[in-house]
């Protein structure tokens, strides 16, 4: 797994994909555990917290979130491990904004696998604008709604500017590799979901 450095900034985008043997990413429809909407109160006070799991409606629930710092040398946000466990979890850049913060993007990523078996594949197939997302911590939770789903070029200036933004109110920014698989850890596109805090 490698990162693609921007020519305009000293940061890089996480390569949220795995080095499997197929040549494209099928759009999977399998879901994980059911989401927990029935008992969740979205009308809560917004306060920063450490995320431990996430529900993605239409995708699955109780998805583990791993807090991983940026690489000290490259400043790239960390990604989940390349394993059967790692392909089913979400990574959060603990070096950046936390869920519940008032400013800055909450940077998250997940893997896409060429055989269609990873969390990123299910997100590409099922996570749309308007979808509800709930992030859980040990003592806190916060609801979000997807406001934008954007496809970028991996080295595009627009992605670097928007994904890493600290200039707007806090929102989730979840990236996965997408498009055509060009080789191990290399994909032609990145898909990013932006989601803002929601009361339900």
Helices (H) and strands (E) in the chain, counts: 2, 10
Euclidean distance between CA atoms 14 and 3, whole angstroms: 6
Whole-prediction pTM:
0.82
pLDDT digits (tens, 9 = 90+) for 114-168: 999 999 999 999 999 999 999 999 999 999 999 999 999 987 788 888 988 888 8
Select the CATH number that applies to the domain covering 4-197 from these four: 2.40.260.10, 3.30.110.60, 3.40.50.720, 3.40.1280.10.
Answer: 2.40.260.10
**Per-residue tokens: 139:** 């003592």
Query: Which of 92, 100, 111, 94 shows the shortest CA–CA distance to 171?
Result: 100
Please give the DSSP secondary-structure letter assigned to residue 69. Answer: P
pLDDT tens for the 200 residues of the chain, in order: 333 223 223 334 465 555 443 333 444 433 456 566 556 889 888 999 999 999 999 999 999 999 999 988 888 888 999 999 999 999 999 999 999 999 999 999 999 999 999 999 999 999 999 999 999 999 999 999 999 999 999 877 888 889 888 888 899 999 999 999 988 878 999 999 999 999 97
Q: Distance of CA 17 to CAs 13, 74, 95, 104, Å?
A: 12, 18, 21, 24
Query: Which of 83, 179, 186 shows the shortest CA–CA distance to 124?
Result: 179
């Amino acid at each position: 797994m490698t990162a693609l450095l921007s020519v305009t900034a000293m940061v890089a985008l996480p390569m949220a994909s795995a080095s499997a043997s197929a040549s494209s990413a099928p759009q999977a429809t399998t879901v994980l555990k059911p989401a927990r909407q029935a008992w969740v109160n979205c009308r809560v006070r917004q306060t920063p917290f450490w995320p431990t799991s996430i529900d993605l409606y239409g995708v699955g629930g109780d998805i583990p979130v791993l807090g991983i710092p940026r690489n000290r040398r490259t400043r790239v946000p960390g990604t989940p491990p390349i394993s059967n466990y790692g392909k089913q979890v979400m990574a959060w850049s603990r070096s950046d904004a936390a869920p519940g913060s008032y400013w800055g993007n909450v940077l998250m990523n997940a893997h896409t696998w060429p055989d269609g078996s990873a969390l990123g594949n299910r997100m590409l197939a099922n996570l749309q604008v308007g979808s509800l997302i709930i992030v859980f911590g040990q003592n806190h939770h916060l609801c979000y709604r997807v406001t934008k789903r954007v496809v970028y070029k991996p080295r595009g200036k627009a992605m670097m500017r928007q994904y890493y933004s600290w200039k707007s109110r806090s929102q989730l920014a979840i990236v996965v590799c997408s498009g055509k698989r060009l080789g191990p850890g290399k994909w032609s596109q990145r898909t990013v979901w932006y989601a803002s805090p929601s009361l339900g």
